[in-house]
Amino acid sequence: MAQDNNRSIISMMAITVIIGFMLQVAFVYADKIDSPHKAVVEFSKAYFWLDKATMNKRLCSAQKTIDEVNIIDEYIQQATNEAGQMGFELTYMKNTIYHVKTHTLSRDDSNAVVRLTCYKKKAINPLYMTVAKIFRLNKTYHIDETISVIKEDETWKVCGKVFDLPTNPDIS
C-alpha cells in the first residue's frame, strides 16, 4: 500500500515537471514573436532609459535621419547636455517606465496604431528610489501616447511622431 502511494507521488511529480517544461518552451517561443505592442514597449523603455542601440533597432529607417542628422544621436546629445548643465552625468537623465499597457487602435498587415499608457519616474539608484518613495521626493508622470508602427524588413518598428523626437516631414 505504501509503495503504491510512493509511486503515485513520484508519477505526479514527474507529470508536473514535464508540464512545466512544456509550458516554459511555449512561453519562450511566444516571447520571440514580434508584434506592434512589443515594438512600442521596447522602444519606449529604450527611449526613457536612453538606450541608443534598442532605439536604433526599433525606429523605422525613414525616421532615423532628418537633414542628415541621426535623431537618436541628437536626442542622446541633448540629454547629455541637459544633464551637464545641471551638473550631472547622462545616467541622471534615465527614467524607467512601469504599469505599461498597450491597446491596438488599428492594424493591418504592415501598419498599426498602438496606444501606450504607463507611468515614468527617475531611475537613478535603487537606494535613492527607496528613500524617495518614503519621503515622496520622486515624482511620477503619466504617459498616454498614440504611436504609429510599421512593418519594415519583417520587423515591427516605431515610426512618425514619438514622444519628443523630431519627426521627418516626409513621413507624417
* Confidence at residue 122, expressed as pLDDT on a 0 to 100 scale: 82
Please answer whether residues 119 and 140 qualify as being in contact, where contact means their C-beta atoms are separated by less than 8 angstroms: yes
List the beta strands (DSSP E) in the chain.
65-66, 69-70, 95-107, 111-122, 141-152, 155-159
Helices in 116-168 by DSSP H: which ranges?
A: 126-135
Assess whether pLDDT exceeds 70 at residue 171.
no
At residue 18, what is the residue type?
I
Q: Give all strands of the β-sheet with 111-122 in edge-to-edge order.
A: 95-107, 111-122, 141-152, 155-159
Please answer whether residues 72 and 64 qualify as being in contact, where contact means their C-beta atoms are separated by less than 8 angstroms: yes
Average confidence (pLDDT) over 45-67: 91
Assess whether pLDDT exceeds 90 at residue 114.
yes
Q: Residue 98: pLDDT band by 50, 70, 90 thresholds?
A: very high
Average confidence (pLDDT) over 66-91: 90
34-159 CATH, one of 3.40.50.800, 3.30.9.10, 3.10.450.100, 3.40.190.10? 3.10.450.100
Domain boundaries, the chain: 1-33, 34-159
Assess whether pLDDT exceeds 80 at residue 78.
yes
Average confidence (pLDDT) over 26-48: 88
143 vs 66 pLDDT, higher one: 143
Please answer whether residues 159 and 39 qualify as being in contact, where contact means their C-beta atoms are separated by less than 8 angstroms: no
Question: Which distant-in-sequence residues (6+ apart) come within 8 Å of 122 by Cβ?
Answer: 92, 94, 95, 96, 132, 138
Alpha-carbon gap, residue 124 to 131, rounded angstroms: 12
Q: Residue 165: pLDDT band by 50, 70, 90 thresholds?
A: confident
Assess whether pLDDT exceeds 80 at residue 146.
yes
Average confidence (pLDDT) over 146-170: 83
| Lowest mean pLDDT segment, chosen from 24-33, 50-59, 91-100, 163-172 | 163-172
